[in-house]
Structure 1
Amino acid sequence: MCRTAAERAVAAELDAVRPGLTTRYAAELPGARAAVLTRLWRGLVHEPLPWIATRTGDREGVALRLDDGRRLHGPASDPWATAASVTGLDLDGVRYDHPAELVAALAVPRGDRFAAELDHSVASLALSRTAPRPAPPAHPWEWEQKDTDGHPYHPGCRSRPGFSAAEQLAYAPEHRLLVALRLARVEGAAVSGAWPRELRDGAAVLIPVHPWQAEHVLSGLPLRPGPAAHPLMSLRTLDVGGDTHVKTALSTRLTSTVRDISAYTVTHAVATSDFVERLVARLDGRLRIARTVAVAGAGDADLAALLRESPHVHADAAAGERVVPVAVLPALLAPHTPDERLDRVVEFARLALGACLDLLDLGVALEAHGQNLLAVVDAEGRTRRLVYRDLADIRISPARLARHGVPAPPVTGRLLNDDPAVLRRKVLGSLVTGALGPLAGDAPTLGTVLEAATRDLAPTPDLRALRAEPLPAKALTLMRLGPDGGGDLWTGLPHPGVPAGRDRQVPRVHGG
């Protein structure tokens, strides 16, 4: 039964465009509500929200006392758990099983906007879960299309504002349809790298445009038909064949971020990629970079595109290797026994932590979450190498580079930062809370993985910080309740093994 505005809107549109999905969509709604409510409760329990006065609890449950005196009660919350375990929360004696209805009842600043996002997240998640799941994937891009649920900890995991149900069915990777790109002919475009001949028209550049962007943002611009492409995990990046991926501008908010391609990226992306690729060569083959080939822009973040090497070129297909985004590794490991799965997760964690911490010591902090970081796995699901893609939001430390005798790359601006806290948040907040946590699935397993994976790593200051300090994590709920444009906000989560829900002082928030 559809209860909210977004749920009813999607159902009504399905009745018109895909009536065969309406019943399945309605059946998925209760599970989608629980999945988003679980993510929301994690944020309420573990993030430093200013209108929560106290938190008390034990393994049986957690009580939040709001600053207006009301009491919100729910089950114990493991900040590393990924299973949808929360089916209802009690606010002063009233039970809420829909995250949007709960946030509306909380009546906190900017809560109306957030409630609408959660409503959309539930409806879109239910729609995503109607997609059939073929197994096993026959093509590289199909590994990117296996995930239906999005970010494992973000309550806006499937929020796609501006996308109708028909557009989600047509463009979202989980529905696995070919997307017909458009081409914009641009005279005088800014270009970095070797823009391919087939995307040129005389002196003009042909910039690939996502069809959603063409209709909603660039509707007055004359566009040509472009190549058909397979949408990948990030939705706006697509496989156009020939071992090339194209990252398109898509000026809407997906999860937390408005997706466009800035003039800064057009200027810096190729030089950044070349530099990181050379530096990664010091890691003895453990990590490869899906290099940026070229970027073109028309002086507007709404009209730009980036061409990138497919990560799959780094697999030896003849030896049975595959390249799998870390976010879908659980699906690959599912057929194994629990002990085998844990063994493979530890192997992956040891390789990923070792490579990322070694690179951080050299001076580059990767944003190695489950979408940007990929594993080259053999036929038994064992990770042999890593591939990293999308260098747009890494951080580079000129001071650390200088200590190793490495000249800083020819880039300026936001990519450069020497602050150890910022660099560690970038790496650990992505790799531990964005990849290893979801891969482990709960605090006890993550604690086991971290202990085993770090036992023999080089004892750098960054490794000591990983072991001794609260683990950095984006304050995802707080960020969505803050003003737009406020940037990333960070908090610290207890190390795995600290009892979930125990009375504790919530760490303060950090910006940047």
Structure 2
Amino acid sequence: MCRTAAERTLAAELEPVRPGLTDAYAAGLPGARAAVLTRLWRGLVHEPLPWVAARTTDREGVTLRLDDGRRLRGPLSDPWATAASVTGLDLDGVRYDHPAELVAALAVPRGGRLAAELDHSVASLALSRTAPRRAAPPAHPWEWEQTETDGHPYHPGCRSRPGFSAAEQLAYAPEHRPVVDLRLAAVEGAAVSGEWPGELRDGTAVLIPVHPWQAEHVLTGLPLRPGPSAHPLLSLRTLDIGGDTHVKTSLSTRLTSTVRDISAYTVTHAVATSGFVEHLVRRLDGRLRIARTLAVAGAGNADLAALLRESPHVHADTAAGERVVPAAVLPALLAHHAPDERLGRVVEFARLALGACLDLLDLGVALEAHGQNLLAVVDADGRTKRLVYRDLADIRISPARLARHGIPAPPLSGRLLNDDPAALRRKVLGSLVTGALGPLAGDAPTLGAVLEAATRDLAPTPDLHVLRTEPLPAKALTLMRLDPDPDGGGDLWTALPHPAPARRS
């Protein structure tokens, strides 16, 4: 039964638009509560929360002593586990099975905001899990991106979609497999980088694709034209519009933990960044390809802008049976393999991904290669043949490292440039290991074995040494949602115990 405000609201919204889903939604709420509570408990155990005074672990579980003297008790927490299910936590003798209710009871600074997000995450996750399962393997490239229902495997706000009603989630979220009719805004004097296509121009006006949610809730009153029909991808606001082109739209709401608009910085720098990185990865002997940024257009504010990007699927040899799947989808793709075969496929992917990303980092580019941005070109047997990377908005470029290799720095400025070795390593390892390899391995012992096998023959670099011998960086996802400045404070980090049973020097 629905217990919280978000659960009741979504149920009431669902009844008139899809009454056939109401029973499945209600039945899915307990599992959704446990899934989000599991993610929250991971953050409480492993992140540097200022109001946790001490942590003690025994064979049965973990006890957190809070700074007000209360104690929070729960099961052992593997920071890399994805199949674990925490069904309840004990706060001073009171059991809580809903993450929002627990955070409200904790009464920590800015906990009310986090509780509301967790409430929405639970309700939206239960709705996402009502999406029908496919009876056959995906037939179209974009269908692979619509197979994931649960969102970020470690973020407690994995399905937080504030501002999206039940009808809007069904109409726009990829797991429900809708067709989305985009709008077009005719903008005179738009800022444009790259070659904006002629079919998206009308005389001197640039026609900027607008997501229908943005049209309804943000750009109210702006005259808009009908646009192309599109298929939403893993990120929801990026859509396949056909012709081997994806469009990334502004969506001025917080999905998971970030407002998904497109900044003026991106409009100015994205095409040049793409060209530079595409040229640099040619040094990697074909192991990694870049889904090129083709063009970006903006109207002078982050709420009205769009980016056109090459589809990653152009890098697959479809005649040979190859397909391109995001790393986040690989667990489902490999699920039918026998355990030993599956582990072999994971190691193959990890060796290729770690090798390419660490080689590129040594040259001077740190990719944010998490499960959404990093894609694998796999053959019919699930073996990774090469990689594709998309979305360069949050990479980092080190002019100092480039100079050591005699590579001229690109004509860029601002936040993409960073020479701090720790920041560069966090960008790569905190996304690739935590965001792609950890979920693919599924638990600490398996991830340790994967890292040991995948790094055994890689070329030695200082970054590889850090990966093999030091605790692993991960975004402190719960702490970031409790930060006084969640939009402008930047990423916050924690260090997770290295999963390898015996580290190698």
Q: Which of 488, 495, 504 is the aligned partner of 2:498?
A: 495
For 1:354 and 1:428, the matched residues in 2 are separated by 12
Offset of 1:58 from its aligned partner? 2.5
For 2:223 and 2:356, the matched residues in 1 are separated by 46
> 1:275-286, aligned counterparts within 5 Å?
275-286=276-287
The aligned counterpart of 1:507 is none
For 1:393 and 1:2, the matched residues in 2 are separated by 38
For 1:13 and 1:362, the matched residues in 2 are separated by 51
Secondary structure of 2:109's counterpart equals coil
For 1:388 and 1:60, the matched residues in 2 are separated by 41
The aligned counterpart of 2:231 is 230
Ranges in structure 2 where 5+ consecutive residues have no aligned partner = none
For 1:358 and 1:242, the matched residues in 2 are separated by 32
Aligned residues: 499
The aligned counterpart of 1:510 is none
The aligned counterpart of 1:137 is 138
After superposition, give the CA deviation of every residue in 1:290-340 in whole Å (9 maximum; x if it has no partner): 000000000110000000000000000000000000001011101100000
Secondary structure of 1:299's counterpart equals coil
Asked if the contact 1:14/1:21 (under 8 Å) is kept, the reply is yes
Asked if the contact 2:183/2:227 (under 8 Å) is kept, the reply is yes
Secondary structure of 1:241's counterpart equals coil
Asked if the contact 2:186/2:207 (under 8 Å) is kept, the reply is yes
For 1:131 and 1:180, the matched residues in 2 are separated by 20
For 1:305 and 1:127, the matched residues in 2 are separated by 28
For 1:133 and 1:408, the matched residues in 2 are separated by 47
The aligned counterpart of 1:437 is 438
After superposition, give the CA deviation of every residue in 1:441-465 in whole Å (9 maximum; x if it has no partner): 0000000000000001111000001
Secondary structure of 2:125's counterpart equals helix
Offset of 1:470 from its aligned partner? 1.1
After superposition, give the CA deviation of every residue in 1:459-502 in whole Å (9 maximum; x if it has no partner): 10000011121100000000001122221101110001579xxx
Bigger relative contact order (CA 8 A; separation at least 6): 1
Bigger mean CA offset, 53-62 vs 408-417: 53-62
Asked if the contact 2:449/2:500 (under 8 Å) is kept, the reply is no
The aligned counterpart of 1:83 is 83
Asked if the contact 2:75/2:86 (under 8 Å) is kept, the reply is yes
The aligned counterpart of 1:505 is none
For residue 155 of structure 2, what is the amino acid of its counterpart? H
> 1:89-104, aligned counterparts within 5 Å?
89-104=89-104
Secondary structure of 1:192's counterpart equals strand
The aligned counterpart of 1:343 is 344
Offset of 1:60 from its aligned partner? 1.8
For 2:289 and 2:17, the matched residues in 1 are separated by 43
Secondary structure of 2:299's counterpart equals strand
For 1:492 and 1:133, the matched residues in 2 are separated by 37
For residue 101 of structure 1, what is the amino acid of its counterpart? E
The aligned counterpart of 1:156 is 157
For residue 37 of structure 1, what is the amino acid of its counterpart? L
For residue 103 of structure 1, what is the amino acid of its counterpart? V
Offset of 1:133 from its aligned partner? 1.6
The aligned counterpart of 2:375 is 374
For 2:59 and 2:384, the matched residues in 1 are separated by 35
Asked if the contact 1:125/1:158 (under 8 Å) is kept, the reply is yes
Asked if the contact 2:445/2:501 (under 8 Å) is kept, the reply is no
Q: Does 1:273 align with 2:274?
A: yes
The aligned counterpart of 1:384 is 385
For 2:14 and 2:260, the matched residues in 1 are separated by 26
Offset of 1:54 from its aligned partner? 0.4
Asked if the contact 2:351/2:455 (under 8 Å) is kept, the reply is yes
For residue 253 of structure 1, what is the amino acid of its counterpart? R
Secondary structure of 2:241's counterpart equals strand
Q: Does 1:170 align with 2:171?
A: yes
For 2:87 and 2:322, the matched residues in 1 are separated by 40
Offset of 1:114 from its aligned partner? 0.5
Asked if the contact 1:34/1:84 (under 8 Å) is kept, the reply is no
For 1:68 and 1:361, the matched residues in 2 are separated by 46
Asked if the contact 2:451/2:500 (under 8 Å) is kept, the reply is no
Offset of 1:122 from its aligned partner? 0.1
The aligned counterpart of 1:58 is 58
Asked if the contact 1:347/1:453 (under 8 Å) is kept, the reply is yes
> 1:92-131, aligned counterparts within 5 Å?
92-131=92-131
> 1:237-386, aligned counterparts within 5 Å?
237-386=238-387
Asked if the contact 1:266/1:296 (under 8 Å) is kept, the reply is yes
Offset of 1:423 from its aligned partner? 0.2
The aligned counterpart of 1:215 is 216
Segments of 4+ moved more than 3 angstroms = none
The aligned counterpart of 2:19 is 19
Asked if the contact 2:270/2:296 (under 8 Å) is kept, the reply is yes
Asked if the contact 1:128/1:175 (under 8 Å) is kept, the reply is yes
Q: Does 1:481 align with 2:482?
A: yes
Bigger mean CA offset, 128-137 vs 240-249: 128-137
For 1:269 and 1:14, the matched residues in 2 are separated by 39
For 1:83 and 1:372, the matched residues in 2 are separated by 23
After superposition, give the CA deviation of every residue in 1:24-48 in whole Å (9 maximum; x if it has no partner): 0001101100000000000000000
For 2:254 and 2:14, the matched residues in 1 are separated by 23
For 1:49 and 1:328, the matched residues in 2 are separated by 31
Q: Does 1:44 align with 2:77?
A: no
Secondary structure of 2:73's counterpart equals strand
Asked if the contact 1:270/1:292 (under 8 Å) is kept, the reply is yes
Asked if the contact 1:248/1:260 (under 8 Å) is kept, the reply is yes
For 1:48 and 1:61, the matched residues in 2 are separated by 19
Q: Does 1:192 align with 2:196?
A: no
For 1:28 and 1:427, the matched residues in 2 are separated by 35
For 2:500 and 2:403, the matched residues in 1 are separated by 38
TM-score, L = length of structure 1:
0.97
Asked if the contact 1:428/1:472 (under 8 Å) is kept, the reply is yes
The aligned counterpart of 2:35 is 35
For 1:59 and 1:378, the matched residues in 2 are separated by 43
For 2:483 and 2:363, the matched residues in 1 are separated by 35
Ranges in structure 1 where 5+ consecutive residues have no aligned partner = 500-512
For residue 77 of structure 2, what is the amino acid of its counterpart? S
Asked if the contact 1:287/1:387 (under 8 Å) is kept, the reply is yes
For residue 416 of structure 2, what is the amino acid of its counterpart? L
For 1:151 and 1:131, the matched residues in 2 are separated by 17
For 1:228 and 1:60, the matched residues in 2 are separated by 53
For 1:281 and 1:28, the matched residues in 2 are separated by 47
For residue 90 of structure 1, what is the amino acid of its counterpart? D
Secondary structure of 2:246's counterpart equals strand
Offset of 1:59 from its aligned partner? 3.6
For 2:412 and 2:32, the matched residues in 1 are separated by 43
For 2:129 and 2:320, the matched residues in 1 are separated by 33
